[in-house]
Structures are given as C-alpha cells and as structure tokens.
Chains A and B, each alone.
Chain A
Amino acid sequence: DAGITQSPRHKVTETGTPVTLRCHQTENHRYMYWYRQDPGHGLRLIHYSYGVKDTDKGEVSDGYSVSRSKTEDFLLTLESATSSQTSVYFCAIGLGVENEQFFGPGTRLTVL
C-alpha cells in the first residue's frame, strides 16, 4: 500500500453535512491524488496536489475542495454532502518521472 492510509474507512452521513476525508503518507512524496470510483464510470480524478499548498482540479471537482498544509496529509472536503457523492474514494501517490501511482485502501462514503 506504499505507506498510504485513509481515514475513515467507512462513513455514513446525511445530505447537507460537511465531510472530510484524510489521506496520510509516510514517505514525503510530492504528488498526491483523490479519485472517486463508481460503477460504470471507473476511477475519476477529483483533485490533485503537487506540493504543500499546491493543488489543482481534476475531471470531477465540483462540490469538492482539498487542502495540503503538510507534505504527508491531503484532505478532501465535501462542504455539503449530496447523495450523488456516495462513492468509494481512493487516495494515491505518484512516483517518479513517469508518475506511477499507488493507491490507498479507500474510503466508502454513503450519503443518505
């Protein structure tokens, strides 16, 4: 798992509540990513980071924000969760010039 942990691993919340997912890595990698995975859509990039306080949007960023105040932590926030954000969320790190990506164990989020 390349030293990547995600918390929580499972969460059930209600529509309209804020939710923050945490990705933690232990090896000071520069690039970190948040994806969501849904049946029929595969893995889609939400946001990524290329350093502390340096982030950019991915394909499906609407409704999500991120922060990276320390190299080891990359936070994904749903400001006001909606049922369409029910998904499995994966964090990944990118290594090397070719950006080989390695994934954390995932967080299963259910928004009721």
Chain B
Amino acid sequence: QKEVEQNSGPLSVPEGAIASLNCTYSDRGSQSFFWYRQYSGKSPELIMSIYSNGDKEDGRFTAQLNKASQYVSLLIRDSQPSDSATYLCAVLGSSGSARQLTFGSGTQLTVLP
C-alpha cells in the first residue's frame, strides 16, 4: 500500500510569517510530486509540481524535494489570510501505477490577520 503522510494540523501562522508544510511518501520509485490547495467547499487546485531534488520557487511558494529521504515540503512566504486552506500533497506512482496519484490527508492552514 503506497502511503503519503502529511504533518497533522491544523497549522496556524500569523500574517507575514513563513508556513511550512511537510509530506513523506513510501514509494521509493516515485518521480513526480504535487501540492494542491483546497478551499473549503471547493475542488483541489494545483499550485506546485516538482520532479527533481532541490528547491523550486514560484512567487511566494517554494517546493522542496529530497528523494533520498522520501520527503517533500511546501513553504509559503509572507503568508496571507487568503492562503488559509487545506494543502494536499500528492505523489505519482511508479511502475504499474504510473498514472495514479496518491494523496495525503491534507494539512489545514490558518493565517491569522
């Protein structure tokens, strides 16, 4: 059973702070990793994709990947109240399940004004 684990929430940070969201995965052959943002009552929205070890930055968002440690994280700099949402980590399977995503259960983030 392929697993994706996220740090349990909820997570609260003050406006302007850095929010750090973490995710570990069990499928060592996985090569593609994604972060989704989901507002309450809405569908998940893809915000970051990362495929290589290291950091990938997009605006206030930075995804970090360490395949050796089977760890992926998302940093949100200068957090805003509009960032308050549930963040889902997703991992693309390897080999026979190469087209399937496995999702973590999500971390709920609240940014306090």
Count residues on chain A whose CB falls below 8 Å from chain B CBs. 23
- Interface residues in A66-112 by Cβ distance below 8 A to B read 90, 94, 98-106
Check A99/B101 contact, CB under 8 A, given A90-B43, A105-B43.
yes
Q: With a CB–CB cut-off of 8 A, which chain A residues contact B105? A: 40-42
Contact of A100 among B34, B42, B98, B102 (CB under 8 A): B34
Report if A31-B99 is in contact (Cβ < 8 Å); known contacts: A43-B44, A99-B32, A100-B49: yes
Is A52 an interface residue, CB under 8 A from the partner?
no
How would residues 96 to 108 of chain B score, 1 for a CB under 8 Å from any chain A CB and 0 otherwise? 0011111111100
Residues on A with beta carbons closer than 8 Å to the beta carbon of B104: 42
Q: Which residues of chain B are within 8 angstroms of A41 by Cβ–Cβ distance?
A: 105
Cβ of B46 and Cβ of A100 under 8 Å apart? yes
Contact among A43, A45, A98, A100 with B88 in the assembled complex (CB-CB below 8 Å): A43
Chain A residues lying within 8 Å of B106, measured Cβ to Cβ, are 42
Partner of B92, one of A43, A98, A105: A98
Q: Across chains A and B, which 9 residue pairs bring their CB atoms closest together, nearest first?
A: A42-B105, A103-B43, A43-B103, A98-B32, A42-B103, A103-B44, A106-B43, A105-B43, A99-B99
